[in-house]
Structure 1
Amino acid sequence: MDKKKIASILKEYSYLTVGTLIMVVGIYFFKFTNNFCFGGVTGMAVLFSGFTIFSASDLTFIINMLLLVVGFLFVGKSFGVKTVYVSILMSVALSVLGKIYPLTKPLTNEPVLEFMFAVFLPSLGSAMLFDAEASSGGTDILAMILKKYTSLNIGVTLMIVDVAITVIAFAVYGPKTGLFSVAGLLTKTLMIDSVIENMNLCKYFTVVCDDPEPICDFIHKELDRSATIFNAEGSYQHNEKKIILTVMKRNQAVRLRKFIRQQQPNAFIMITNSSEIIGKGFRGMN
């Protein structure tokens, strides 16, 4: 394995580690202490901790490890090394936090503020994991088992489980915590989708101009991107025009827009947001 490959793996797992630890902070300090049950393994752990001698951290560790064992037995290795790594790291980190920094009550007296962090931090961490094509394991492993051995609609089945956990929270922790849990369940998916979209947001340029060479030189040499040029004709005066198509990250887009406005002020620029760019230099390719 060459140095470039090793560096790429280290970068990928560093990214996974950061995303997982962000999840852990949100779950341990804000979700567990307020008994929020948003579904998933941590939701199960919070729920079961209400009527067992185990803490939510310990129950998360136990459930995740059991699911990993069951996953290996029934699915094999197909759920991936990254998912196993994240699942073990999250379980161990929560368990360690429970031992070195035990909490018996919320950090503040502001449940709405803590609810916001209990939703946002795990959503941010989950979005980072999904962006790296990994997951935190848990119910994802259960989904793989169900998919392999049943004809059930996996998404609906897991949603029913999450809803059941949230509904039972009313009986275990009361209506206030139950309502917060319902709100968290409804918000979580939307938050993850929104974070993923913003993380992957790129700018798609359509530039209509007379002289594309200076613009393309700037794109190549200064931004390390490429572009596609089309021949075109203006519909009013039938002048020859060139159309440049290019895609880049947001910080690069600011520089390109400024350059075009300075160098070719008569150019017509259309800039569109896009979060699904697949190709060299973007998602799916090196």
Structure 2
Amino acid sequence: MEQKFQGKERVLDLIFEVGGIFIMSIGIHCFLVPANIAPGGISGVAILIQYLWGLPIGMMTFVINVPIFVLSWRYLGRKYTLQSFGAVLLSTVILDYIVTPWLPMYTGERLIGSLFGGVFMGTGLGLVFLRGFSTGGTDAISFLLQLKFPHLPIGRALMMVDGLVLAISVFVFHNIEAGLFGVVALFAQTKVIDSIVYGSEHGQMFLIVSDKNMEIKDKILVDVDRGATILKAVGAYTMEERAVLLCAARKSQFGQIKRIVREVDPNAFFIVSEVSQILGEGFKPVSNDM
């Protein structure tokens, strides 16, 4: 049974990786390249090189990644490097030998090109990330930067790399709109990646401290149809034991829960935080999560 499950997982891995890279390649070739848009990352650098010297984008992506692979092997480990190497090699083959020769380019409005390019890129990358894979490139660069500068957040490191590529694209294409449309494509790409990786299971977590937590809990159970957990805590100032109500809910239910707390105890201490994904009873089952 376990071998059968592992075999199914490997097949899914292959389908998601090949399918994701194919969709990503469509975004690059069909929409971004004809619109002269380089939306950050190593693929953006490869688009700039293709514009300047006519060299294949897939091959240039692979060549640029070679020194990154060397550093990755040394600092990030063999497994991560081999997986990234396979993904980049597959991307090179699909982009240069399947998508580019056979699929047409969209030559209409640049705004549409940037949006669809970002959506296709985001969809492809999202499918790859969903199975826990990496495409190397800026992912590896951000991890390497964090090793050198431990206090630098990965998100900020990625933003720095993408911002540099976007700035260079303005000078290469001799057009400030290239950078602006690049931002549009990058924004669309990021949003689509988040929606695929985290699904529609974005939610909010509520921490409620009140003398009327039991009454609040009952109303949440009945009116919102959400469960809650009671945590034991100690106030740092008074050193008195207090009950803290923990509740997870969808964003659409925020207003209901806030109204319940306000009506039951206007003096309650109420913390709301964003959560990227909620799995389990009442939400997406853990067993269905990719």
Deviation readout 1:3-49 (Å, 9 max, x if unpaired): 33212221222122212211111112112232211100111111233
* Structure 1 position 100, deviation (Å): 3.2
Within a 5 Å distance, the mapping from 1:1-286 to structure 2 comes to 2-79=3-80, 82-97=83-98, 100-101=101-102, 106-151=105-150, 153=152, 154-173=154-173, 174-197=175-198, 199-201=199-201, 272=250, 276-278=277-279, 281-282=285-286
Task: Indicate how the Cα distance of structure 1 residues 55 and 275 shifts in structure 2: closer, same or farther if over 3 A, else same.
Answer: same
For residue 120 of structure 1, what is the amino acid of its counterpart? Answer: V
Work out whether residues 170 and 177 of structure 1, in 8 Å CA contact, stay in contact via their aligned partners in 2.
yes
For residue 161 of structure 1, what is the amino acid of its counterpart? Answer: V
* Structure 1 position 165, deviation (Å): 1.1
Work out whether residues 16 and 129 of structure 1, in 8 Å CA contact, stay in contact via their aligned partners in 2.
yes
Deviation readout 1:259-282 (Å, 9 max, x if unpaired): xxxxxxxxxxxx846962345951
* Structure 1 position 98, deviation (Å): 6.8
Work out whether residues 58 and 91 of structure 2, in 8 Å CA contact, stay in contact via their aligned partners in 1.
no
TM-score by length of 2: 0.64
Work out whether residues 42 and 64 of structure 2, in 8 Å CA contact, stay in contact via their aligned partners in 1.
yes
User: Structure 2 CA distance, aligned partners of 1:71 and 1:185?
Assistant: 25
* Structure 1 position 82, deviation (Å): 4.3
* Structure 1 position 184, deviation (Å): 2.2
Task: Indicate how the Cα distance of structure 1 residues 81 and 114 shifts in structure 2: closer, same or farther if over 3 A, else same.
Answer: same
Deviation readout 1:62-119 (Å, 9 max, x if unpaired): 223442233223432252654443222112212224763487xx42323222222101
TM-score by length of 1: 0.65
RMSD: 3.8
Task: Indicate how the Cα distance of structure 1 residues 282 and 56 shifts in structure 2: closer, same or farther if over 3 A, else same.
Answer: same
User: Structure 2 CA distance, aligned partners of 1:81 and 1:8?
Assistant: 19
User: Structure 2 CA distance, aligned partners of 1:73 and 1:13?
Assistant: 26
User: Structure 2 CA distance, aligned partners of 1:285 and 1:101?
Assistant: 35
Work out whether residues 32 and 56 of structure 1, in 8 Å CA contact, stay in contact via their aligned partners in 2.
no
For residue 137 of structure 2, what is the amino acid of its counterpart? Answer: G
Matched positions, count: 229
Task: Indicate how the Cα distance of structure 1 residues 189 and 88 shifts in structure 2: closer, same or farther if over 3 A, else same.
Answer: same
For residue 46 of structure 1, what is the amino acid of its counterpart? Answer: I
Task: Indicate how the Cα distance of structure 1 residues 283 and 126 shifts in structure 2: closer, same or farther if over 3 A, else same.
Answer: farther
Secondary structure of the corresponding residue to residue 133 of structure 1: coil
Work out whether residues 47 and 165 of structure 1, in 8 Å CA contact, stay in contact via their aligned partners in 2.
no
Task: Indicate how the Cα distance of structure 1 residues 102 and 151 shifts in structure 2: closer, same or farther if over 3 A, else same.
Answer: same
User: Structure 2 CA distance, aligned partners of 1:107 and 1:91?
Assistant: 21
User: Structure 1 CA distance, aligned partners of 2:124 and 2:53?
Assistant: 28
Q: Which stretch has the larger CA shift, 273-282 or 6-15?
A: 273-282
Deviation readout 1:135-177 (Å, 9 max, x if unpaired): 2211111222222344361432331221121112111112232
User: Structure 2 CA distance, aligned partners of 1:130 and 1:78?
Assistant: 16
Work out whether residues 200 and 275 of structure 1, in 8 Å CA contact, stay in contact via their aligned partners in 2.
no
* Structure 1 position 283, deviation (Å): 6.5
Task: Indicate how the Cα distance of structure 1 residues 285 and 187 shifts in structure 2: closer, same or farther if over 3 A, else same.
Answer: closer
